[in-house]
Each structure stands twice: as C-alpha cells, then as structure tokens.
Amino acid sequence: MKIPSVQLQGFFDPQGSVSILIARYSRIKLREMCSLLDPCHSCFTQFVLPSAAITHMLRLSDIFVSYGMIAALKGVSLEVREGEIVALIGANGAGKSTTLMSISGITGLMAGTIAFKGRAITGLPSHEIVGLGICQVPEGRHIFPRMTVRENLEMGAFLEDTRRLDEDMARVFAMFPVLEERNKQLGGTLSGGEQQMLAIGRALMSRPKLLLLDEPSLGLAPIIVSRIFKIIEEINRQGATILLVEQNAKAALRLASRAYVMESGRIVMQGPASGLANDPGIKKAYLGE
C-alpha cells in the first residue's frame, strides 16, 4: 500500500505525536510502522495487575525518562481517577510533555510503570494505547496543514467502521460548528484557535476515555482560551477523563479538581486544585500574584 507523502512527513515529526495518528490510519500496516518508530515496541510485554490494585484510571509509578544524557523525568508518580480533570503545571522544561508522551507510548521509560484501568501499558506501542482509549492532543497541535479539516478528522478515526465514522464526525461538528462550516478548507489555513479545535476534534474521533491535553491554550488570544477551556469542561461532562498540561496555571487550577506541580522532572506538590491555587508559593511562582 502506497502511503501518501503528506502522511509520511507527519510520521517523522520529531515530537513523535503525529505518529499515533498515522499508526491508526487503518490502511497502513500498523505493526510495521510501529517497529519503524521504535524497535523496542515490537517486543513489548503486558500483564494484568491484581484486581485489588485497580483504584485509578491512570497510575504512573516512579517513572524515569532520559533523552540521551538528559534526565527528563526523575521518578514521577501520579494518578488520575475516572471522571476527573487533573492539571499538570510547571515551568518550561519541567517534563510535562515528556510525561504525556510517556503515557502515550511515544517516549520509552528507563524505569517505572504506567497502568491504565489496572492494566500495565508500559512498553505498548502507541496505536494500542490509543485503542485502549487514551488519546493525546500534542503541544503545538500538529494538524496536517495540507489536508482538509474533514481529512484531518478522519485521521483520528478508525476508518474501517464508516457508520461510526459518520457518528463521530457529527459529534465533533456539534461541539465545533466552525469545523463543519470549514470542513473542506485546508487545515493549515485555519486560525490558531480553529487549529486547536481541530486537534481536539481529531482526538475525539477515537472516543477517548482519557484525553491528554498538552498546552491547549498556547499562543491563543484570551477570548479563545476561555472558549477552549469551556470545551474541555464540556468534553469532561460528556464522560472523558482529562489530564491537562498547562502553563496557564490560573485557568488550569480553576478547571481541574486536583493538580500536580512539576519542577525539573519531579512532582514537587500535589493536591486539590483550589488548595494549590491558594498556596503562597504557587501564587508567586505560577500565578503571577
């Protein structure tokens, strides 16, 4: 099967995030593509944890990630319960995106484990992690600029089921009417806010149980930011659990029920979002107060 060049270009995206979508594109041989991404993925193992341990939707236990000599995550543990919005905040380079990419299987772990609904997903290839119901909206959106809005959304779907595709497309259009209006327009010609909506809409096409959002407000005007945050709230109300990475800590702490604060690859604080929002140290470091 010939892979259109626009997709190959996305496949080698240095963030690795687009690769999840490519790997899901049903006409492509998934395993071959994943082995191209990371040879380790082809020899993954999996096992089921004892049922007594199943209390959280997502649990990261003491994970370590390095990029060559650079230690990006130095023993990160966090948990997300079903139905929650959990915020992960921290300065540039703290390791927030690396945490999300580890959950998505894009970045391999040096040590530690990640479990989803009581099942270890450590080492699973990205497309299998998406298949389990975890979908990431990458930092910087990474939509396909030379594909139409509709084609971008199709890239997030399981194309073999056309009835489901139509249903999911209708659901995304109901949430983002502007995407329906512009469904024939090229992704690259959308505004920044519309591109963010497209990136979120594309993720929703896979009906995620857990949505990982990386800096959804980045670079957007305040009025668009508040729209995006309302949409995140609505997605959560409709049933998806959300792990939200944000530099807009104020907005994130308002939206989330719990939050974690990262510094230099470690979780340094955690607790109810309202409590963190009132913490003098957090106010000074992250809320500009």
* Contact assessment for residue 159 and residue 25, using Cβ atoms and an 8 Å cutoff: yes
Task: Between 141 and 182, name the residue whose CB sits nearer to Mg ion.
Answer: 141
String marking each residue 26-55 x if it binds Mg ion according to CB under 5 A: ------------------------------
Chain centroid offset of residue 36 CA: 21
Task: Between 91 and 159, name the residue whose CB sits nearer to Mg ion.
Answer: 91
Examine residue 97 and tell whether it contacts Mg ion (CB under 5 A): yes
Token pair of 6 as six digits: 């626009």
- With vertex at residue 211, the alpha carbon angle to CA 282 and CA 262, rounded to the nearest 5 degrees, is 25
Tokens 């003098």, located at residue:
280
Query: Which of ligand ATP, Mg ion, none does 93 bind, CB closer than 5 to 8 A by kind?
Result: ligand ATP
Query: Which of Mg ion, ligand ATP, none does 72 bind, CB closer than 5 to 8 A by kind?
Result: ligand ATP
Binding-residue total with Mg ion (CB under 5 A): 2
Task: Between 107 and 147, name the residue whose CB sits nearer to ligand ATP.
Answer: 107
- Coarse DSSP helix, strand, coil percentages of the chain, rounded to the nearest 5 percent: 40, 25, 35
Of the ranges 32-40, 62-70, 94-102, 273-281, which one interacts with Mg ion (CB under 5 A)?
A: 94-102
Query: Which of ligand ATP, Mg ion, none does 145 bind, CB closer than 5 to 8 A by kind?
Result: none
Q: How far apart are CA 146 and CA 188, in angstroms?
A: 6
The contacts of residue 91 (CB under 8 Å, 6+ apart) are 263, 285, 286
Task: Between 9 and 247, name the residue whose CB sits nearer to ligand ATP.
Answer: 247
Give the residues lining the site for ligand ATP (CB under 6 A). Answer: 67, 70, 72, 90, 92-98, 139, 247
Task: Between 101 and 232, name the residue whose CB sits nearer to ligand ATP.
Answer: 101
The contacts of residue 54 (CB under 8 Å, 6+ apart) are 117, 118
Q: HSE on the CB side for 123, CA within 13 Å?
A: 14
The contacts of residue 284 (CB under 8 Å, 6+ apart) are none
Query: Which of ligand ATP, Mg ion, none does 259 bind, CB closer than 5 to 8 A by kind?
Result: none
What's the min distance (Å) between Cβ of 104 and ligand ATP?
13
Query: Which of ligand ATP, Mg ion, none does 94 bind, CB closer than 5 to 8 A by kind?
Result: ligand ATP
Residue 117, sorted as left (phi over 0), alpha (psi -120 to 50) or beta, turns out to be left
Which positions touch Mg ion (CB under 5 A)? 97, 139
